[in-house]
Each structure stands twice: as C-alpha cells, then as structure tokens.
Amino acid sequence: MKNNTSIIIIFFCLFFLVACSDNREENTPKKLVTATTLLLPSDKQICMEMPITFSWKSVTNATSYNLTVNKVENGKETTVFTESTSNTNYSFNNLEKGILYKWKVETIGPQNSMMSSTFQFQTESLAITNHTPFAPELISPTLGSTIVDNSVSWKCEDLDNDPLTYDLYLGTDINNLRLTESNLTSTNYKFKELVANTKYYWKIIAKDNHSNVSVGQVWSFITS
C-alpha cells in the first residue's frame, strides 16, 4: 500500500512540474522583431562620394542586422556584398561609379527575422553620362491579390527624364515568363485573355533611348 501511495505522489509531483513548466513557457513574452526602416542612402538617391554609409533605424529585440547590396547592370542583378553587424550603419568604399544599386536590411532577433523594403541608388560617374532607369515599381494590383478587370500598372523613374519604353512578360511559371508586349509607352496595361482562377507572374523591363535597361521584380496576381 505504501508503495502504491508513493507512486501516486511521485506521479502528481511530476505532473505538477510539467504543468508549471508549460505555463512558464506560455507566459514568457516573445521577443519578436519588426522590419527596420532604411534611412541612407535614401530611395533613388545619387551618391557622389565614397565611402557610402548605409544607415537604418534600430529595432527593439534585434541581435544583429544583415545588410545586402546588389548591383544592377545590363538588366541583371548580382550581389556585391552581404554584411552582418550589430550596428545600425555600415560604410563601404568599393562601389563602382555610374552603377545602379539596390540595398536592403534583414533584422535578426532571438525568435524571428524580418526583411526591410528595398531602396535603389546610383553612384555618380566620373564623366558626364546617361543614367540607367530605376527599376520599375508595382502600383496595382497589390502583390498576390486577385485581379478584377485584368489591368496592371507600374511606375518607373529616370534621372535624365529620358523617354522610357517597357517590355511586359507574363506566365503561370515564375521561371518561364514570356514576352507579351514590347515597347509599351504607357505604364498601365490590360490583358486581353487570362484563364479564370489562375495565378499569373509578371514583370516589366524598362528601357531608355540610350540602350540602358532596368529589370523589375517578378510580381503575381490571381484571376477571378
């Protein structure tokens, strides 16, 4: 009888300890991070001097930040460097002149990570030159949303105010987009035939009259 009583007491003690442990975990506040806000270089800035100092806002609970800088040249985007730091700024001295760049910062926390928006900037050339258009930016429909009237729109800026034309690519396979329209002069377009209840991917390539090319990100929408 004593043995049975001892076993029951031990069982309830273990149950109590596990329940308390679970309760402590539930009551422990989560140290989640949010996406940081990029400061400098500001979006679509011309950077005249080196080194370029990248800066962003501090985020509560952040343990570190991953800075990524990509180069956009001849319509292709490649990573120049990725730097992990606990600071909210980082200086870099070896960027090429007369090149379009993109940068973003991932905030790292103890329990999650969050990516910032992406900014674009250009480094000024040593000689007088024509600048590449900034990458096209999505206006509508919002990324991944349902499209109603088969219409899309975007915006694109050029520092030299050159006339821009656009090539539009579309497809249901993100890795196999096909040219739908070329040399568009408008920044909106209405598709003629789309399959209902289907997810489509699309992108815009911007071109100026100096053979400079800038490729936009791949966006998506769903037909109703």
Judged against a pLDDT cut of 80, whether residue 75 lies above it is answered with no
The SS3 of residue 24 is: helix
CATH classification of 137-223, choosing from 2.160.10.10, 1.20.1250.20, 1.10.1280.10, 2.60.40.10?
2.60.40.10
Q: Please, what's the b/e burial string for 61-80 (b: 16 or more CB within 10 A of its CB; e: otherwise)? A: bbeebebbbbbbbeeeeeeb
Task: Render 32-93 in DSSP notation, one character per residue.
Answer: ------EEESPTTEEE-SSSEEEEE---TT--EEEEEEEEEETTEEEEEEEEEESSSEEEE-
For the 38-123 domain, the top CATH level (class) is mainly beta
Q: Where in the chain is the domain with CATH 2.60.40.10?
A: 38-123, 137-223
How many CA atoms does the CB half-sphere of 53 hold within 13 Å?
Answer: 6
Instruction: Report the predicted TM-score, pTM, of the whole model to 2 decimal places.
Output: 0.70
187-220 confidence digits (pLDDT tens): 999 998 899 999 999 999 999 998 889 899 999 9
Banded model confidence at residue 136, pLDDT cuts 50, 70, 90: very high
The SS3 of residue 171 is: strand
Banded model confidence at residue 180, pLDDT cuts 50, 70, 90: very high
Q: CA nearest 191: which of 170, 174, 173? A: 170
